[in-house]
Structure 1
Amino acid sequence: MRKLNQFVLLLVGILMVNVAPAQKAETPEQTYDLGSSINEMTLTVGGILVAATNEGLVGIDPKQNTPVFTFNNFGKLKPEETDFIPASPYIVVSQGADSKFAGLTKTKRAVINYITGKTIFNSETDNWNQIYTCNIVLPQNKLIISGIQKEGDKFEKMTPKVAVYDLSTQKLDYSFFLDKPGRVGLAKDFSVTGVPLLLKEILIIPTAQGLIAKKHNGDDLWECKIKGVNWMVADKTEKEIYGFETTVNGKNTRIHKIGSNGAELWKDDRKVQGNVSNFQILPQGIAVVSDKSSGGSSSVFATSDESEIAFLSASTGEDLWQKSPKTKGYVQHFYVQDDGILFGIQQGGINKISFDGKTLFKKPLKTGANIMVMAESPQGLIYITGEDANIVDLKTGDQVWNKPLKYKNSAAVASTFDSAKNRYLIAADGDVYAIDANSGDVTEFAKVKFDEKEVANTMQMRNGNIFLSASQNVALLDSDGNQVYHEYYKSPSQSGFVKVLSGALAVASTGLAMAHAAKAGMNRTNSYGSSNDLGNYNDYGKENKRASDMFASIGDAAFDVMSKRFKATAATENAQFILTKLDAGVGLVKVNKDTGKVDKEIVLKDKKPEYQVDEVAGILYYKANDKTIYAYNLQK
């Protein structure tokens, strides 16, 4: 299924391991017989498990004895026909949309609210014969459909139409035709070319004939001849609108600017090389990050694999920077601050440019590759890469620590701040370092050797102690670096074993991440904080609070459920869930973070278990057989 990574593990257990005695819990709290073969299981950001079967989709809420919904209207669905909308309780189901005959044959769409279990929209019941586009708009909580609806007279039944539905009430707000039904003359292509832009007063539809603006009752406002726009975003006043159009070869992007009255505000559009991956609208203009790709070509004439950063004038569209900053790689971090733009490169390097194009750092900062952390601290900008870490002055780029902390290139780096000792703690490649926050002095704090050649990817302060973990290992150090415990739970099979990722947390981050630049635009114009704001180090709750506030503001029952979920304390706050080989077979153990001991174990009785763990609610979903799912409460 698109949008969400699947955390389904196929494991072969051949090794044995002894674990401390623990509570057996092999009887599930809930059993769901779906009556059809289960093909995939997806844990949603809202905490509902969605199973794809040979007959359709089934939603499971562990608090209910029966499925929250069953959608079999379209039969068995291909993975690409199911679209989980990020940061929402919605699934869009499509059939025929990707067919090469999509414009000629019937296409079907449906929108499901997986929390309430309701099918909000079904093209079959609303007489839509062809669906061109189907877009959910948040936070307005609207659904915008374009296509051919088999209603009205013979001319209306063949004229492209747009309809706007309210997702909370499940009712049609308004609809309108993109062309006059029965118009005499040459046929015109009014296909919708991109994502509509819904503003407070108007709706703008990008079409092959240009932009069409309507009032919220469907009445005409204006038309603009800018054709082929793929997505749009407005500034906070909604008086200035930027339209983004991918060029025919798909390698570059044209940017247009229009007013809320449809007037073109730039004399000419502006082309940036590559596809836009990030942007920020500012009073001076629009800062744009675009990614170029060689497409795998080794030719000396091939495009470089790197990002470009441009700053286009609000009034003319001209690049305000005479010389674009060199990136020599892809922009991994992009933050807008009061005095300029701060960015970090995936291949290594950090720099800061003023809004008039001057370099604010005395010289570009050299760093290791893969900048995992860039955040603000009381001492300055802290960065942590796969090879080094340091704090630098945010104004000048000068080092705050005497020299960077360097370590072997590590597959994972974990860090935290010990407020009681006023020090940073960083774990990399088996070594734990302590860095005094005031002096920057570095000491080797401890060595932690994990089995199966794992390295710590999580570090957490717990009552003055330091907890570290990986997929199969957990350890606790005291405040002096002495080992309190180290426990190892052998993986069921080391051969070809895929390490368990945090399913619920990964899904949550997927839901909040930018699916593409069109959706990213909403994050940059709402009142809950921009994703281009530099965060504070160790402020784990910031994104969750931002998401919770956003969900709560929508004023819909399903979003209220999601808001409460993001406010809740995760089940992993005091426990770690690990898949391992138990005496009775492969199973999942719940390990106490303070003691390292097993509080609970569940034997899955399957050499190749397929399962999902909701680490927020503490629920284990296990595919017991071809048609049955068990749900276990890991909190008990």
Structure 2
Amino acid sequence: MKLLIKTTFIFLLLVAFSSNAQKSETPENSYDLGAKINEMTLTVGGVLVVATNDGLVGIKPSESTPIFSFTNFGQLKPEETEFVPLTPYIIVSQGKSTGFGAFGKTKRAVIDYVKGKVLFNSEELEWKQIYTCDVMLPQNKLVVSGLQKSDAKFESQVPKIAVYDLETGKNEYSFFLDKPGRVGVAKDFSVTGTPLLLKKSMLIPTAQGILAMSHDGKELWTSKIKNVGWMVANDAENEIYAFESVNNGNNTRIHKIGDTNGEALWKDDRKVKGTVSNFEILPQGIAIVSNVQPSGNKMFAAKAQSHIAFLSATSGEDLWDKAPKTNGYVQHFYITKDGILFGIYEGGINKISFDGTPLFKKPLKTGENILVMAESKQGLIYITSEDANIVNLSSGETVWNKPLKYKKATSVASTFDSKNNRYLIVADGKIKVIDATTGNVADFANCEFDEKEDPNTMQIREGGIFLSANQNMAMYDFNGKEKYKVYHKSPGRSTFGKIMGGIVSVTSTALAVSMSARAGANRSAFGSINDLDSYNDYGKEAKRAADMFAGIAGASFDYLSKRFKATAASENAQFMLTKLSDGVGLVKVNKDTGKVVKEIILNDKKPEYEVDETAGYLFYKANDKTIYTFNLNK
């Protein structure tokens, strides 16, 4: 089963046994699934989807029985289950269609895991071949293309498009891509990419070119541009950008066409190196990021790196005389009022105006793996695996006299103490404090964690500064004095389950929205996916996700919106796995005291479990066929 795009922080923290802890070993609910459990996935909606030898089962902890059981296709391979990012939908696929003239059956199903309802089943609707099956947002529609059985002569042999309402599962309209029984040489009208659903029409990329059809099936126009993978429209929906993969996917051709008759709006298409990973339509032009993968032939290998281009929306011509050098992959890409700001994974930050003028006096050198790029009152704060600093967003000059450097870390915890106007960053076993006004750096406290762990969480709380990692927790007062520190030896890496947190992270939100957009969603529904976020403002990200869900009609999206607006169960506690005196178990630990307030013995040396930190539920695989749920709020 494909891993759900991570839209949450992951915490696996261990703590000590407390004699005051409330023991709880009786599950609130028990679910006998009747078949061997192969994998568990906790969804963004808090429903556990379990893959068994029989199919998929959905468990909502507030319900005593599974909310759905999908066994129509039997046991599913991991790659046959797709969780559509930031939606309540699962697409199940079996069989691969090769398009025109293909033999063998392909099957698709779409499940709303919040409602526990199968919205689409190609077998029941007698689709013989499925070319594409795409969720369209914010319209909340499903667009399916392929061959559907029909009693009418020739219709079963002609590709068709069908649109289903994902709120009800009902078919709204459908039409053929060619005339059934047409006399002449058969043409391949198989769909090559994701259709683009517009207010008054739909654009379908086929092996014959792009077909523009009205919702009632009337052909509006055709274009000879073939083998398009995906398309994007401007807000007015009168200008279409079509992306065609060429040279075995090594390069991309970008076409611009009009919505009236499909005429080319650029004299020539624009070819960019690699695969387009980011594309945004701006008043000043078109911003594009493309990634080049290394070639298998070492002698003639293309360098693995990203390319940034800025094109005229009118002509497609490059607006920059000289594109900025990247020398690596673009890890961060933001649109600001005066230009484009980007950070490279291999190290380095730069900013270019929309007319191609460098806005930084020189590219900023940084450490590798930029973990954070965000806006603060003092400027752009960046934190990498090796260093941190604040940069003037206009000039690129550093605000701190010199960057804070430290040994390469797998994670770097930091926060801003607004009451004392200072930044706190953990590095090399110490908490460093940086005065926001002067940039002066001083030692605040020692915080060497056992098992050589790098702290991954830092939070300002009413009683002090909370710091944690997988096996360690600590609290310091605002003068740097340690209030408590707890550590428990890990029960072994093989025992780790996965804990899905309830707060949406900056990068995961942007990634999921970006993926949804390229899968057929209208980008305007989500706003810009390339906005620079505010440092340390995770609540803003949760609100962004909640607003995103609220902007899509449907009961399931309303449920997701309310879930993200709710206070997470993890606000004042952490849920942790540890080896207790009675065996391996999960404990609920108070962040302010470090005390265990609840523990659940799992009676398993290698427990498999998921914790929903938003609602406060533990899902535990009790045996090969059974799931237990525990309410962690009680």
TM-score using structure 1 length = 0.95
Letter in 1 for 2:599: E
Which residue in 2 is equivalent to 1:519? 517
Which residue in 2 is equivalent to 1:259? 258
Query: CA contact under 8 A between 1:233 and 1:242: conserved in structure 2?
Result: yes
Describe the shift of the 1:319–1:199 C-alpha distance in structure 2 as closer, same or farther (beyond 3 A). Answer: same
Matches within 5 A, 1:490-569: 490-493=489-492, 502=500, 513-514=511-512, 519-520=517-518, 525-569=523-567
Describe the shift of the 1:488–1:296 C-alpha distance in structure 2 as closer, same or farther (beyond 3 A). Answer: farther
Q: Do structure 1's residue 381 and structure 2's residue 380 form an aligned pair? A: yes
Which residue in 2 is equivalent to 1:65? 64
Matches within 5 A, 1:202-213: 202-213=201-212
Q: C-alpha separation between the residues in 1 aligned to 2:101 and 2:611?
A: 38
Query: CA contact under 8 A between 1:96 and 1:102: conserved in structure 2?
Result: no
Which residue in 1 is equivalent to 2:585? 587
Q: C-alpha separation between the residues in 2 aligned to 1:605 and 1:549?
A: 41
Where 1:255 maps in the other structure, the secondary structure is: strand
Q: C-alpha separation between the residues in 2 aligned to 1:574 and 1:73?
A: 43
Query: What stretches of structure 1 of length at least 5 have no aligned partner?
Result: 8-14
Which residue in 2 is equivalent to 1:94? 93
Where 2:58 maps in the other structure, the secondary structure is: strand
Q: Residue by residue, what CA displacement relative to the aligned partner does 1:30-56 show, whole Å, maximum 9, x if unpaired?
A: 111111111111101111000111111
Query: CA contact under 8 A between 2:136 and 2:520: conserved in structure 1?
Result: no
Which residue in 2 is equivalent to 1:577? 575
Matches within 5 A, 1:79-228: 79-97=78-96, 103-228=102-227
Q: C-alpha separation between the residues in 2 aligned to 1:165 and 1:298?
A: 48
Which residue in 1 is equivalent to 2:286? 286
Where 2:523 maps in the other structure, the secondary structure is: coil
RMSD: 2.3
Report the CA distance between 1:512 and its aligned residue.
5.9
Q: C-alpha separation between the residues in 2 aligned to 1:628 and 1:199?
A: 45
Q: Do structure 1's residue 465 and structure 2's residue 464 form an aligned pair? A: yes
Where 2:171 maps in the other structure, the secondary structure is: strand
Letter in 2 for 1:613: V
Describe the shift of the 1:547–1:226 C-alpha distance in structure 2 as closer, same or farther (beyond 3 A). Answer: same
Describe the shift of the 1:510–1:79 C-alpha distance in structure 2 as closer, same or farther (beyond 3 A). Answer: farther
485-494 vs 370-379, greater mean Cα deviation: 485-494
Which residue in 1 is equivalent to 2:10? none
Q: Residue by residue, what CA displacement relative to the aligned partner does 1:492-550 show, whole Å, maximum 9, x if unpaired?
A: 126x6768564555899757624865734877832543120111111112222121112
TM-score using structure 2 length = 0.95
Describe the shift of the 1:343–1:608 C-alpha distance in structure 2 as closer, same or farther (beyond 3 A). Answer: same
Which residue in 1 is equivalent to 2:620? 622
Q: C-alpha separation between the residues in 2 aligned to 1:556 and 1:216?
A: 21
Ranked by relative contact order (alpha carbons within 8 Å, sequence separation 6 or more), the top structure is: 2
Query: CA contact under 8 A between 1:524 and 1:530: conserved in structure 2?
Result: no
Letter in 2 for 1:189: D
Q: C-alpha separation between the residues in 2 aligned to 1:279 and 1:48?
A: 33
Letter in 2 for 1:119: V
Query: CA contact under 8 A between 2:496 and 2:606: conserved in structure 1?
Result: no
Describe the shift of the 1:378–1:522 C-alpha distance in structure 2 as closer, same or farther (beyond 3 A). Answer: farther
Report the CA distance between 1:134 and its aligned residue.
0.5
Q: C-alpha separation between the residues in 2 aligned to 1:205 and 1:24?
A: 58
Report the CA distance between 1:454 and its aligned residue.
0.6
Query: CA contact under 8 A between 2:497 and 2:610: conserved in structure 1?
Result: no
Report the CA distance between 1:404 and its aligned residue.
1.3
Report the CA distance between 1:101 and its aligned residue.
11
Q: C-alpha separation between the residues in 1 aligned to 2:97 and 2:541?
A: 34
Describe the shift of the 1:520–1:135 C-alpha distance in structure 2 as closer, same or farther (beyond 3 A). Answer: closer
Q: Do structure 1's residue 435 and structure 2's residue 434 form an aligned pair? A: yes
Q: C-alpha separation between the residues in 2 aligned to 1:498 and 1:296?
A: 36
Where 2:228 maps in the other structure, the secondary structure is: coil
Describe the shift of the 1:96–1:179 C-alpha distance in structure 2 as closer, same or farther (beyond 3 A). Answer: same
Letter in 1 for 2:288: V
Q: C-alpha separation between the residues in 1 aligned to 2:582 and 2:15?
A: 9
Q: C-alpha separation between the residues in 1 aligned to 2:499 and 2:507?
A: 12
Q: C-alpha separation between the residues in 2 aligned to 1:508 and 1:2?
A: 22
590-599 vs 423-432, greater mean Cα deviation: 423-432
Describe the shift of the 1:81–1:343 C-alpha distance in structure 2 as closer, same or farther (beyond 3 A). Answer: same
Q: Across the two proteins, how many residue pairs are aligned to each other?
A: 627
Q: C-alpha separation between the residues in 2 aligned to 1:297 and 1:449?
A: 46
Matches within 5 A, 1:234-313: 234-261=233-260, 262-295=262-295, 297-299=297-299, 301-313=300-312
Q: C-alpha separation between the residues in 2 aligned to 1:61 and 1:16?
A: 28
Q: Residue by residue, what CA displacement relative to the aligned partner does 1:557-589 show, whole Å, maximum 9, x if unpaired?
A: 111110011111111111111111111111111
Where 1:573 maps in the other structure, the secondary structure is: coil
Which residue in 1 is equivalent to 2:315? 316
Describe the shift of the 1:159–1:522 C-alpha distance in structure 2 as closer, same or farther (beyond 3 A). Answer: closer
